[in-house]
Structure 1
Amino acid sequence: MDSLLAVWNEWEIRMLVLTSLALQVFLLFFAGIRKRNVSAALSLLLWLAYLLADSIAIYALGYLSQTRVPKGVDPQTFKRTHRIQALWAPFLLLHLGGQDTITAFSIEDNELWKRHLLSLLSQVGLAVYVFTKSHPGADMLAPAVFMFVSGIVKYGERTWALKCASMDNLWSGMVTTPDPGPNYAKFMEEYRFTHEAGLQVEIVIEQERRAEATAATAATAVGVAEETVPYTDVIADASRFFVIFRRLFVNLILSFQERTRSQATFLRLTPEQAYKVIEIELSLMYDTLHSKAAVIHTWYGRLLRCLTLLSTSTACLLFNVLRHHKGKHHSSYNHVDVCITNVLFGGALCLEVYAVGMMLVSYWTFAALRSCNLSFLSDLIFRSIQYFHPERRSKWSNLMAQHNIISFCLLDKPTVLTKVLSVLGLKGHWDSWLHIRHIEVSHELKIVVFRELKDKTASIVDAESYRKFSNHRGQWALQCKGYYKELGWSVEVEFDESIILWHIATDLCFHSDDDTGDAKVAPYVEVSRAMSNYMLFLLVARPFMLTAGIGQIRFGDTCAEARNFFGRAGTAPPDAGASAGMVLGVSAEIAPRDVKGDRSKSVLFDACRLAKSLLELPPRRRWRVIRVVWVEMLCYAASKCRSNFHAKQLSGGGELLTVVWFLMAHLGVGEQYRIEAGHARAKLIVEKN
């Protein structure tokens, strides 16, 4: 044990610094993947690496500050070992500075930038203390100074990036200059003086531009033919709109001029390219919130990146040159420590060069070069972007979660494990892993959402209609299809109740309809079921993204009634189809609430009534109605979700709800446009007698 302990004591600090470097490599290569990946395993690994990277680096710095000579170790040998190991202190500062791909694991980490600033000051002080206490010679001092420059700059970059991405700083950086408007008091004073002078005066108001004209322009523009534009224009449009629409994430308002410009662009784009613009914008927002993009893509950020690369290269060169110039004493340092130091230098240089390459091959750099009219360089960057970030690859996960209430009730059996998990408060995580799956967001679904929003834009009659459309959650769809009288009750209840009603009804119709395999009906069925299962997932697993009220209580009561109903014969039905048949076999002429009362919030048999009404319609018409209702519910949920929750989901692969929210904003639908007209120009017209 003594010999093992001695080996561990000798290798402990070496393992710590190498582990710290390995964690930085892992974070650099894998942190950026999570914006287009929903894997819980990857998220867990990144979370552990993010936390361990700082903890190990800080612990290693504390370990290096110990200078007590261990028993049985020659003091001169220990002094030489500590001298070269003290050079690792600035490398640990470099690691604490993190990688360009991740500064904050979640958006809440950005709010802790003051804590990171304090950590920066304390860890820099500790690193300087560790190095000076080792009494370095000239061969260690020169490379250490350059490495300290790199380490301090990188750590400062991270702290500054966290500050820039904090919500308060984002808001203060995007808010417009306070606008007092025309001088009303001065104008009225001139009017009074003129009137008191006995002159005939008239006030004429000329509006800068009316919102109604904007609405008419948008309605006319819907008839413009869609066209495929070059991918360079798509990236340029995304970069240009990002500067404007990122304000939505901090609840700032937009003007009618911005609505007009955005509509003019999106109404001429194909659906595929419209979604591509949205994807790039959301990718840029992710970079702003979770990486160093807000710092490194500035003139001073690029200058600092050149400084750190040059400083690290110089330090590496000096270390190896000066060490060999010691002549016969060049072997006085431990060979293992020398190798580890060179590994740290090599790792730092490789990470730095890779980070510079990523910075160059980015949408940020392309947009900056294009705005400066540097065509040759921008074309070169674009070709690189096409190679590393091809147009066909989605910039987010392009997945939507699926949860089905009937399948859940059939498969969720009480066991000892589930009881233990319930006691530990982990039952929800278990259910998510076991009963929730992900499917690709189909091209047909995207087209349907885009077309429905475009049709709404074409129906605008005044500026107020833009806001009204975002408040519809099935009413407008049923009125347009002519079924509001029969089915309107199902969308006038609370939103969470509407979701469960239509989810169960959609499932009952699917399992009872023999025409779902019809080539004309199948696309409607597929899109409707995908949105139905997705909305239930949001209700159960992401309730904070919905104005869901008591949605989880209603879901639990409905599941409880379904289990009791399915198990009343002693055995559960074999599959979802048989379950649907059992539910539809119940007579529902009288409203369930009139029979059961209001204590239980279950809506199982209310959904049965809705399904029976839908089954009376012809198959194709039935599924068209179901589809448009779900599209409207999806858009309603997207517009009502708070912006910080949209921002929160960017680091988890993104949500379809966020994509729809941004698409609605670009098409002018929503409540964020609060400036419906410009300043009025009031004139005093004095009439001559």
Structure 2
Amino acid sequence: MELPIPKEVMKIWDEWNLRGCILLSLALQVFLFFCAPLRQKCRSTLIVVLIWSAYLLSDWVAAVAIGVITKSQGDPCPTNSQGDPCPCDSGKNKDLLAFWASFLLVHLGGPDTITSFALEDNEFWLRHLILLILQVLAAAYSFYMTLFENKLWFPTVLVFVVGTIKFGERTCALYLASLDHFGETVLPEPEPGPDYEEAVEIYSTMRSVEVPTQVELPIRPMHIGNYKNPKFIVEGVHKESLDDVQLLQEAYRFFESFKGLIVGFLLSSKVRERSRDFFLKRTHVSAFQLIEYELSFMYEVLHTKVVVARHKVGYILRFITFCSTIGALMLFALVGKHKFDKFDIALTYALLIGAIILETLSVLNLICSDWTVIASTTSGADHILVH
């Protein structure tokens, strides 16, 4: 018994299901790149729901599209469900199908602005690793089926390398942000306690040959009025002003000290005292601005590719992906495309140009980010580049 679906609808579905998935996947990548950072400041429920939906749908659409391409490449039947020639499965488009499959790996890697929506997503890094292996094998199979007659094999290889790197970067970012690994990286130095130095000093004094018989303690003036009036003490502290760069540097230092709270570590007494003394000397505007910078650092480390992208190897991989994408565009422009449909050619150009634009904007974001300001200082450059 056949389903009561008109033939026209089935024909449109057979012709546009893959193209629709690719267009939707590209639109989701652009949306996530520009709108995902809004989570840090926007409290609109609608925006958050849209970002969450796009985050989930982007992986699903790209994976389904790769499955459709793999199935069509292995299907010897040249007709669709209605007996008409199938434009997607015809031999003239198989080169483009393999090219699109490699591009969908780039989409599975996702934009740099979001790798996870919640902390729980980072714990599924092993699932993403398995998905990476499966999807890479599927794209490689699609390319292998057209290897001997594929006129786009060189740009397909370039895009395949870009997609594998992008997908690998996302998996690595999820692994680095998982609680187990993140807890290992933020493990503080052993803290013997506030009385350790005093106990060592007393023990050394008792072990020494010359034991002092009299101890003279320095006389410190006591301010009884100030001691009983905490409000007077706070108001009496001189409020120091810092510029944006200095405030950003202090925010990064506090981020390095306080990020252990994410995995349940306790703060040492020295860190608490330093934080209290610092905030008592600042105005409320500077204090809230510093907290904003600090929370921004935490968000980017846990939910973006900033840790992977700012690594020394990440710079090299970013250069490779950028040059490979431009090379794929130039090679595709030089290859004869008379046997391809005009819409398919336009769609391929949209994928290539869109990838180049997003990659360029990602590099500009890295250059203009707060992390670059911190890395330009002598105190933070080595630490950020290594970790």
Q: Is 1:54 aligned to 2:67, yes or no? A: no
Partner of 1:256: 269
Structure-2 residue corresponding to 1:343? 350
1:27 aligns with 2:32: yes
Q: Which has the higher strand share?
A: 1
Distance verdict in 2 for CA 1:337–1:75, change over 3 Å: closer
Alignment check: 8 A CA contact 2:15 2:88 kept: no
Aligned match for 1:3, one of 4, 8, 14: 8
Q: Which amino acid aligns with 1:93?
A: L
2:122 is equivalent to residue 105 of structure 1 = no
Report how far residue 139 of structure 1 moved.
3.2
- Could you tell me which amino acid in structure 2 is paired with residue 365 of structure 1? T
> 1:227 touches 1:269 (CA, 8 Å); kept in 2?
yes
Which residue matches 1:394? none
Code of the residue aligned with 1:356 in structure 2: it is: V
The 3 A distance-change label for structure 1 pair 203 and 21 is: farther
> Deviation per CA, 1:199-220, whole angstroms, max 9, x where unpaired?
989799xxxxxxxxxxx9xx87
Which of 364, 367, 371 is the aligned partner of 1:360? 367
Residues 21-420 of structure 1: matches in 2 within 5 Å? 21-66=26-71, 67=73, 68=75, 69-70=78-79, 71-73=83-85, 78-135=90-147, 137=149, 139-177=151-189, 223-321=236-334, 323-324=335-336, 330-371=337-378
Q: Structure 1 residue 124: deviation in Å?
A: 0.7
Distance in 2 between residues matched to 1:64 and 1:38, nearest whole Å: 39
- TM-fit CA distance, 1:222: 6.7
Distance 1:34 1:77 in 2: 41
SS at match of 1:370: coil
Distance 1:257 1:344, change over 3 A: same
**Shift in CA distance, 251/13, structure 1 to aligned 2, threshold 3 Å:** same
The superposition leaves residues 316-358 of structure 1 with CA deviations (integer Å, 9 ceiling, x where unpaired) of 111112x14xxxxx40222221111111101111111111112
Equivalent-residue separation in structure 1 for 2:146 and 2:156 (angstroms) = 12
Question: Using a 3 Å threshold, how does the CA distance of structure 1 residues 230 and 10 change in structure 2: closer, same or farther?
Answer: same
Q: CA deviation at 1:117?
A: 0.7
Q: How far apart in 1 are the matches of 2:160 and 2:212? A: 69
- SS in structure 1 of the partner of residue 236 of structure 2: coil
**Matching residue of 2:220:** none
Q: Partners in 2 of 1:79 and 1:27 — Cα distance?
A: 34
For this pair of structures, how many residues does the alignment match? 345
After TM superposition, the structure 1 = structure 2 runs for residues 498-577 of structure 1, keeping only pairs within 5 Å, are: none
Contact 2:325 2:356 in 1 (8 A): yes
Task: Please tell me the residue identity of whatever aligns with 1:224.
Answer: V
Change (3 A) 1:225 1:201: closer
**How far apart are 1:3 and its partner, in Å?**
3.4
State the SS of the aligned residue for 1:102.
coil
Unmatched runs of 5 consecutive residues or more in structure 1:
205-215, 325-329, 375-689
Return the offset for 1:177. Answer: 4.8
Give CA deviations for 1:214-259 in whole Å, capped at 9, x if unaligned.
xx9xx87873311322111111111122111111222223333333
**Would the aligned equivalents of 1:139 and 1:319 in 2 still touch at CA under 8 Å?**
no
How many angstroms does 1:264 deviate by?
3.8
For residues 360 and 371 of structure 2, the distance between their equivalents in structure 1, rounded to whole angstroms, comes to 18
Q: Aligned in 2, Cα 1:222/1:168: closer, same or farther, shift over 3 Å?
A: farther
Structure 1 pair 261/131, CA: closer, same or farther in 2 (3 Å)? same
- Letter of the aligned partner of 2:365 in structure 1? M
Identity over aligned residues, as a percent? 37
Separation in structure 2 between the aligned mates of residue 337 and residue 223 of structure 1, nearest angstrom: 71
The one-letter code of the counterpart of 1:331 is: H
| Unaligned stretches of 5+ residues in structure 2 | 1-5, 214-226, 382-387
Task: From the superposition, tell whether residues 3 and 135 of structure 1 become closer, same or farther in structure 2 (CA, over 3 Å).
Answer: farther
Summarize the alignment of residues 449-488 of structure 1 with structure 2, pairs less than 5 Å apart.
none
Q: Would you identify which runs of 4 or more consecutive aligned residues in structure 1 move more than 6 Å?
A: 74-77, 199-204, 219-222
Structure of higher RCO (CA pairs closer than 8 Å, 6+ residues apart): 1
- Residues 123, 178 of structure 2: 8 Å contact kept: yes
Normalising by the residue count of structure 1, what TM-score does the alignment of the two structures yield? 0.47
Change (3 A) 1:271 1:123: same
1:35-79 superposed Cα distances (whole Å, 9 cap, x missing partner): 111111111111111111011111100000123222332899811
Deviation track 1:384-435 (CA, whole Å, cap 9, x = no partner) reads xxxxxxxxxxxxxxxxxxxxxxxxxxxxxxxxxxxxxxxxxxxxxxxxxxxx
Q: Residues 355 and 64 (structure 1 numbering): CA distance in 2 closer, same or farther, change over 3 Å?
A: same
Local SS of the residue matching 1:63: helix
Aligned-pair CA distance for 1:7: 2.7
Contact 2:125 2:171 in 1 (8 A): yes
Deviations 1:143-167 (A, max 9, x none): 1111111111111111111111111
State the Cα distance separating 1:92 from its structure 2 match.
Answer: 0.6
CA–CA distance in structure 2, aligned partners of residues 18 and 164 of structure 1: 31
TM-score under structure 2 normalisation? 0.81
Structure 1: how far apart are the matches of 2:255 and 2:86? Answer: 62
Partners in 1 of 2:62 and 2:88 — Cα distance?
A: 27
State the 1:284 CA deviation. 1.1
Indicate if the aligned counterparts of 2:158 and 2:328 stay in contact, CA closer than 8 A.
yes
- Structure number with greater Rg is 1
**Are residues 60 and 136 of structure 1, via their aligned partners in 2, closer, same or farther at CA, if it must alter by over 3 Å?**
farther
Q: Which residue of 1 aligns with 2:21?
A: 16
- Note if contact 1:16-1:57 (Cα within 8 Å) is conserved in structure 2: yes
Provide the aligned C-alpha RMSD in A. 3.1
Distance 2:209 2:370 in 1: 61
